Structure 1
Amino acid sequence: MRRAGPCVASAQHQLFRHLVLRSSGRPRPSAVAMATAAFPGPTAMEEALSRAVPPLPPYETREKVAAPAGAALEQRGAEFMRYYRALESGRPRAELLSRLARDFGVEHGRVAEVSGKVARLLQQQQQQQQEAAGEKGEHEPGALLQAEDRLRHYLTPRYRGLFQHLGRQEGGLRFLVELRRDLLEALAAREAEGPHVREMNGVLKNMLSEWFSTGFLNLERVTWQSPCEILQKISDSEAVHPVRNWMDMKRRVGSYRRCYYFAHCAIPGEPLVVLHVALTDEISSSIQAIVKEIPPLEVEDLNKITTAIFYSISLTQQGLQGVELGTYLIKRVVKELQVEFPQIKAFSTLSPIPGFTKWFLGLLSSQSKETGRCDPFTDPEYQEISEITGDPAVEILKRLLANNEWVRSERLVRALQQPLMRLCAWYLYGEKHRGYALNPVANFHLQNGAVLWRLNWMADTSPRGITASCGMMVNYRYFLEDTMSNSAAYLGTKQIKASEQVLSLVTQFQQNSKL
């Protein structure tokens, strides 16, 4: 795209300012949308960013912001939010985010200058310490500490100032969550790439982690008497076991069920992360038993409530990915349930195993290409599968797994149970990413201090469950007295705490699978 000439660019600049501001200086509601429609090119975008992003103040005046300047920044922040929301989703927003990360980051020249001064002062201090060795008294490190503080100041990217000002404005926190959602989508689609964009994503995630810490979060319980808007949002955001209809939603907040969510004090009435709990008398091994129809008027019998099953946890705001909300929600809900039901002794999940089928299909493909045979199975298992499917067994099995047709054959389901159980145990226990569990759900609960407790065959026979994990689900059990030590062991030494059932399956995998 050709850049506009200086006269045209100047006209665009003036028209943008005219559209954005009334003569009184107040922003017009549709001004940014009009400016964007008039000039979709880079000029309006550059103007919007230049006006919105505050300059990094000099080190000496970093804590002093004059009132007029603060008011002007607030107005410009509001203009920027309207301008951004007027842009189409996808590439236009990705382009703005790329420019923001690239052009409004750290001032590298100033950083180089100050870091050089830090290095010189450090060298001087070391020389003085050597010369003063054996003499009484201590060297005063004030100059070095001040230089280091100055360096920290100039390592702050300019866009961080924009995020700070937006976070303080009404509606600004919600906007930043939306902006990070767009940023993550742009990174995933490779519409915005490069180290600058990834760095800005990390900065914004850390800022959101501070703003969404537990002190600002309110725990809310959902019942059938909750506002319709809340029930609708809970239903729409359910990512693990989709809600089929209103009667299904009514059951999930009715007898022997609990539903909780976190809301932020600055975004009231907006669920951030949702946890569904089933109150049972045993650790569930099938999701069908939990989501089955329960008479809505059934009165809870406290004698039947000895176990709490966390069967679904969903993040409703994609812009909060990586912000530690789920962990805090589980801890808060455990305390809430202990008060309401002091007789509950067992806390466990019934969790999906996303990615297992994909991993297994990849394993079948790589093994058949490299060796011409299927090493995940023992010879008797492979022979039995071949008798059921015919030859070439591996290719037929891959096709049956890909389209879920294998579950139609009871004989094939029985033949695959033992090998798939031990393969899944290894997938959860032995497959790693940087030393931690490869499966994201496993990694989440193990970080929280849970135990990899039990694998369940045909625990989710829905098409979604068969596609994701060949119908298997897993219980991560929370032994409350051990969660801190388990979490420390996992995070520190990457050691996974697992039950005898899981370890036995892992041993079978190691003995029988030639991988």
Structure 2
Amino acid sequence: MRGLGPGLTAGRFLSLRFPPRPPRLREKTPAPAEGQCADFVSFYGGLSEVSERAELLSRLAQGFGVDHGQVAEQSAGVLQLRQQPREAAVLLLAEDRLRYALVPRYRGLFHHISKLDGGVRFLVQLRADLLQAQSLKLVEGPHVREMDGVLKSMLSEWFSSGFLNLERVTWHSPCEVLQKISESEAVHPVRSWMDIKRRVGPYRRCYFFSHCSTPEEPLVVLHVALTSEVTSNIQAIVKECPSSETEDKNRIVAAMFYSISLAQQGLQGVELGTFLIKRVIKELQREFPQLGAFSSLSPIPGFTKWLLGQLSSQKEHGHSQLFSDSEAQEIAAAVGGPVHETLKAVLSGHEWVKSEKVVRALQAPLTRLCAWYLYGEKHRGYALNPVANFHLQNGAVLWRINWLGDLSPKGITGSCGLMVNYRYYLDETATHSTAYLGSKHIKASEQVLSLVAQHQKNSKL
């Protein structure tokens, strides 16, 4: 770096390279020079420790945000002008100065860094570091949250659909791309090269979005299985090999979206998955005009945790609204002890699925409770489960609860082995999305609504 010696602290670096704004805004202050932005990128890249980067980000958020003194001064000026007869141009100029005062200084820095070669990629990583630092409690507070929101908003503009390229992955794609696809898979981990070969082979499709500035760099990845029916079990997709190397289009009736993973953690909260599903549906319709069903086969993260919490809560109150008397008796006999206490211990592991007696006793009540969890448990009026909220926002229908749809240890411990299909009826997705986002109404199938009604009836007994 030009003129920046070793051992320079984050605070000292910021004060040297980015002097404060003038106290008065007669004219807009000049943007950070290209050299200053390059120095920031270089200095930040030289910080190897998470704590060092967290300190720099914290200082940037607190010291280079909105100057509240200038905001107060400009606000007073605007109010004064509005109380007096003035030319419109004078008032508009004052309001423009107020708008400028409300812009955090670091926004200008981020904007000009984005113009550097590799600048957008740097900012994606910077936000990933910021999110990690927040999760580790290394940085916190309103200034940090505000900076994260500003950066997220800027990334949302740069990564809007017009700048995204849809790319398909095959076994003949570059090794680097296949490796990145494997590493980014967060739903059903890839265990070997043969595993990834199966997932990009016959009757399978894998797509990702890349940015126009970084081609072949996956941002978000979607895996699709082309099947003869709406599948209810994930092992049939990720473990079983298609019987033929040549696709028979007559056998392909449904497109199953079984995994969507963010490959760049700095893009959390940026609307990429919705765009990707819509683009992939159009791509598949062109390739397979006969496709009649588009559906997800989704995990239910958080269901087991929610259920264990319900068991604890109802044990403390000395009664149960989770199970009927006959169900409670059957479960107690199957698990060999009091329902609430023993069942909590059983569901905390993944060995219970090996007992036919336990599986039989739990099938009806857990399927019913899962339907209620997805349909009835809310956060600010929307579905509590994040995967449900994602698909419902897209206009999908909460279509079918699948008992033991995922027999992997992760599936059993995370959602008691249950999975769910969210169906995309293309002529109705816009209507369903509007109803969900506007009136918070969840469109669900008769199967799901019947299970919800059973839970509500059981809860009143």
The residue aligned with 1:324 is 271
The residue aligned with 1:461 is 407
State how far apart, in whole Å, the 2-side matches of 1:467 and 1:56 are: 54
Corresponding position: 1:186 with 2:151: no
Corresponding position: 1:77 with 2:37: yes
The CA deviation string for residues 86-118 of structure 1, in whole angstroms up to 9 with x for no partner, is: 213322211111110001111111100111122
The residue aligned with 1:286 is 233
* 4+ residue segments displaced more than 6 Å: none
Q: 1:178 is matched by which residue type in structure 2?
A: Q
- The Cα of 1:308 is off from its aligned counterpart by 0.7
Q: 1:86 is matched by which residue type in structure 2?
A: G
Q: Contact 1:53/1:161 (CA < 8 Å) preserved in 2?
A: no
Corresponding position: 1:350 with 2:350: no
- Indicate the SS of the match to 1:241: coil
Q: 2:249 is matched by which residue type in structure 1?
A: L
State how far apart, in whole Å, the 1-side matches of 2:148 and 2:333 are: 53
State how far apart, in whole Å, the 1-side matches of 2:81 and 2:435 are: 41
- Indicate the SS of the match to 2:229: coil
**Structure 1 vs Structure 2 CA RMSD:** 1.9
Corresponding position: 1:401 with 2:347: yes
- 1:11-160 residue pairs with structure 2 within 5 A? 20-21=1-2, 35=6, 39=7, 44-53=9-18, 61-62=27-28, 73-124=33-84, 141-160=88-107
Q: Contact 1:84/1:93 (CA < 8 Å) preserved in 2?
A: yes
- Between the two proteins, the alignment pairs up a number of residues equal to 460
Corresponding position: 1:376 with 2:376: no
Q: Kindly tell me: are residues 54 and 486 of structure 1, through their superposed partners in 2, closer, same or farther at Cα, counting changes over 3 Å?
A: farther
The residue aligned with 1:262 is 209
The residue aligned with 2:309 is 362
- The Cα of 1:280 is off from its aligned counterpart by 1.1
State how far apart, in whole Å, the 2-side matches of 1:288 and 1:457 are: 13
The residue aligned with 1:248 is 195
- The Cα of 1:123 is off from its aligned counterpart by 3.4
State how far apart, in whole Å, the 2-side matches of 1:333 and 1:469 are: 27
The CA deviation string for residues 474-500 of structure 1, in whole angstroms up to 9 with x for no partner, is: 011111111111111111111111111
- The Cα of 1:61 is off from its aligned counterpart by 4.2
- Indicate the SS of the match to 1:269: coil
- The Cα of 1:227 is off from its aligned counterpart by 0.1
Q: Contact 2:203/2:242 (CA < 8 Å) preserved in 1?
A: no
Q: Contact 1:256/1:280 (CA < 8 Å) preserved in 2?
A: yes
The residue aligned with 1:229 is 176
Normalising by structure 2, what TM-score? Answer: 0.95
Q: Kindly tell me: are residues 153 and 383 of structure 1, through their superposed partners in 2, closer, same or farther at Cα, counting changes over 3 Å?
A: same
Normalising by structure 1, what TM-score? Answer: 0.86
Q: 2:146 is matched by which residue type in structure 1?
A: E
- % identical aligned pairs: 65
State how far apart, in whole Å, the 2-side matches of 1:176 and 1:272 are: 14
- Indicate the SS of the match to 1:403: coil
The CA deviation string for residues 427-463 of structure 1, in whole angstroms up to 9 with x for no partner, is: 1111111111110000011111111111101100010
- The Cα of 1:55 is off from its aligned counterpart by 5.4
Q: Contact 2:334/2:361 (CA < 8 Å) preserved in 1?
A: no
- The Cα of 1:386 is off from its aligned counterpart by 1.2
The residue aligned with 1:436 is 382
The CA deviation string for residues 302-346 of structure 1, in whole angstroms up to 9 with x for no partner, is: 101121111000001110000000000011111111111111121
- 1:271-310 residue pairs with structure 2 within 5 A? 271-295=218-242, 298-310=245-257
The CA deviation string for residues 373-402 of structure 1, in whole angstroms up to 9 with x for no partner, is: 433111111111111223333211111111
- The Cα of 1:48 is off from its aligned counterpart by 2.2
The CA deviation string for residues 15-35 of structure 1, in whole angstroms up to 9 with x for no partner, is: xxxxx326xxxxxxxxx7x72
- Indicate the SS of the match to 2:83: helix
State how far apart, in whole Å, the 1-side matches of 2:196 and 2:106 are: 42
